[in-house]
């Protein structure tokens, strides 16, 4: 009886070990799809837009703490009282087989007041009424917005000026539809950052981007006055 008990226990241990070993033997894939990239920010109805903007369907797996690190960076840089800060990346959407210079990147920083309505635009860039201002061209897009949050001490009187930018988008033509794709991606990421920061009213960003956004006229550089 004693031997049978020992045999039964030994058999159970072998079974448990076999299950544990088999479940842990499959290595994690080094790649993720569009729904998983950037900590799942685009999961739901933007996966196809991510694939269009990046020109890829499979992406290199990255560490999953980009959002937490970014929020911590913004909080620390806002606390310094500086008018601008270098910020940090939310994520890099690196396509399978891509080089480091080709990675579509989402980055956020505190912007200086004069950055909004800045005279002179990048080639092919258009301005839109979103947040304080939004800009987009065929390879990039950005949104300027302000955040009042209990996580940012003093922001009731001095809202945090935050810029979210997308860079190195897949090179397509400059049709408005393509620019809106780029803007839709950075809008979704900016909304996620605003929610994580607990910005009042989501920093004025809509839950869903209106692809019929009103365009703003380009800002001209002031004429030089001859001395």
Query: What is the band of 28 on the pLDDT scale with cuts at 50, 70, 90?
Result: confident
CB distance 112 to 132 below 8 Å: no
Q: How does pLDDT run across 87-139, given as a tens digit for each residue?
A: 999 999 999 987 767 799 999 999 999 999 988 777 789 999 999 999 999 99
Q: How does pLDDT run across 32-71, given as a tens digit for each residue?
A: 999 999 999 999 899 999 999 999 999 999 887 899 999 9
Query: What are the phi and psi torsion angles at 211 (to 5°)?
Result: -75, 0
Query: What is the band of 223 on the pLDDT scale with cuts at 50, 70, 90?
Result: low
* This prediction's pTM: 0.84
DSSP-derived pairing of the beta strands 104-110 and 88-93:
antiparallel
């Amino acid at each position: 009886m004693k031997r049978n008990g020992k045999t039964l226990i030994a058999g159970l241990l072998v079974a448990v070990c076999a299950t544990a070993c088999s479940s842990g033997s499959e290595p994690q894939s080094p790649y993720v799809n569009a729904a998983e990239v950037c900590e799942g920010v685009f999961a739901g109805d933007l996966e196809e837009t991510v694939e269009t903007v990046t020109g890829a369907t499979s992406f290199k797996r990255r560490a999953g703490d980009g959002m937490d690190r970014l929020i911590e960076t913004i909080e620390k840089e806002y606390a310094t009282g500086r008018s601008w800060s270098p910020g940090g990346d939310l994520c890099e959407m690196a396509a399978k087989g891509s080089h480091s210079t080709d990675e579509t990147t989402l980055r956020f920083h505190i912007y200086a007041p004069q950055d909004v309505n800045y005279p002179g635009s990048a080639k092919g860039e258009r301005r839109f009424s979103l947040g304080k201002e939004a800009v987009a061209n065929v390879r990039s897009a950005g949104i300027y917005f302000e955040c009042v949050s209990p996580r940012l001490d003093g922001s009731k009187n001095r809202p945090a000026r935050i810029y979210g930018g997308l860079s190195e988008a897949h090179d397509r033509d400059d049709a408005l539809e393509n620019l809106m794709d780029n803007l839709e991606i950075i809008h979704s990421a900016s909304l996620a950052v605003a929610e994580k920061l607990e910005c009042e009213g989501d920093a004025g960003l809509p839950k869903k981007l209106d692809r019929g956004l009103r365009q703003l006229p380009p800002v001209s550089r002031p004429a030089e006055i001859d001395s």
